[in-house]
Amino acid sequence: MRQATVYIDSDALQYNFNRVKQLAPHSKIVSMVKANAYGHGVKDCLAALDATDAFGVACLEEALEIRQLGYTQPITLIEGIFSEDEMTHVIEQKLECIVHHTQQVEWLIQHKQAYNALGLKVWVKLNNGMNRLGFKVTEIIDVIQRLKAEGFTCVLAMHFANADVDHPLNEQQIEQFLQVKEACAPILSSCCNSAAIYKYPELHFDFVRPGIMLYGASPFADKNIHDLDLKAVMTFSAEIIALNQIQQGECVGYGSTYAATCPSKIAIVSIGYGDGYPRAYTQQNFVAIDQQLIPVVGRVSMDMMAIDITNIKAELGTKVELWGPNRLVDDVATANGTIGYELLCRLSNRPRRKII
Ligand SMILES: *Cc1c(COP(=O)(O)O)cnc(C)c1O
Question: Does ligand 1 come within 6 angstroms of the Cβ of 219?
Answer: yes
pLDDT given for residue 281 in this prediction: 75
| DSSP per residue, 136-153 | -HHHHHHHHHHHHHTTPE
Q: Which residues of the chain have pLDDT under 50?
A: none
Question: Is 132 part of any known ligand binding site?
Answer: yes
Q: Is the entire prediction scored with pTM above 0.85?
A: yes
| Distance (Å, whole) CA 153 – CA 247 | 71
pLDDT given for residue 283 in this prediction: 76
pLDDT digit string, tens, across residues 168-198: 999 999 999 999 999 999 999 999 999 999 9
Q: Minimal CA–CA distance to 192: which of 177, 179, 207? A: 207
pLDDT given for residue 139 in this prediction: 96
**Residue 4: burial class (beta carbons within 10 Å; 0-12, 13-18, 19+):** buried
Closest ligand 1 atom number to CA of residue 194: 9
> Phi and psi for 55 in degrees, rounded to 5?
-120, 155
What domains can be seen in the chain, in order of their start residue? 10-224 (3.20.20.10), 234-355 (2.40.37.10)
pLDDT given for residue 3 in this prediction: 82
Q: Known catalytic residues?
A: 34, 254
Question: Does ligand 1 come within 6 angstroms of the Cβ of 210?
Answer: yes
Q: Which residues contact 355 (CB under 8 A, 6 or more apart)?
A: 7, 8, 10, 41, 44
Closest ligand 1 atom number to CA of residue 210: 9
Closest ligand 1 atom number to CA of residue 163: 7
pLDDT given for residue 282 in this prediction: 73
| 191 Cα: distance to centroid of ligand 1 (angstroms) | 10
Nearest 10 degrees: Cα torsion 295, 299, 302, 307: -20
Q: Which long-range contacts (CB under 8 A, 24 or more apart) does 254-258 make?
A: 254/298, 254/299, 254/301, 255/298, 255/299, 256/298, 257/298, 257/299, 258/297, 258/298, 258/299, 258/306
pLDDT given for residue 2 in this prediction: 85
Q: Which residues partner with 155 through β-bridges? A: 123, 188
pLDDT given for residue 109 in this prediction: 97
Question: Is 32 part of any known ligand binding site?
Answer: no
Q: How far is CA 232 from CA 96, 197, 210, 298, 301, in A?
A: 30, 18, 15, 27, 26
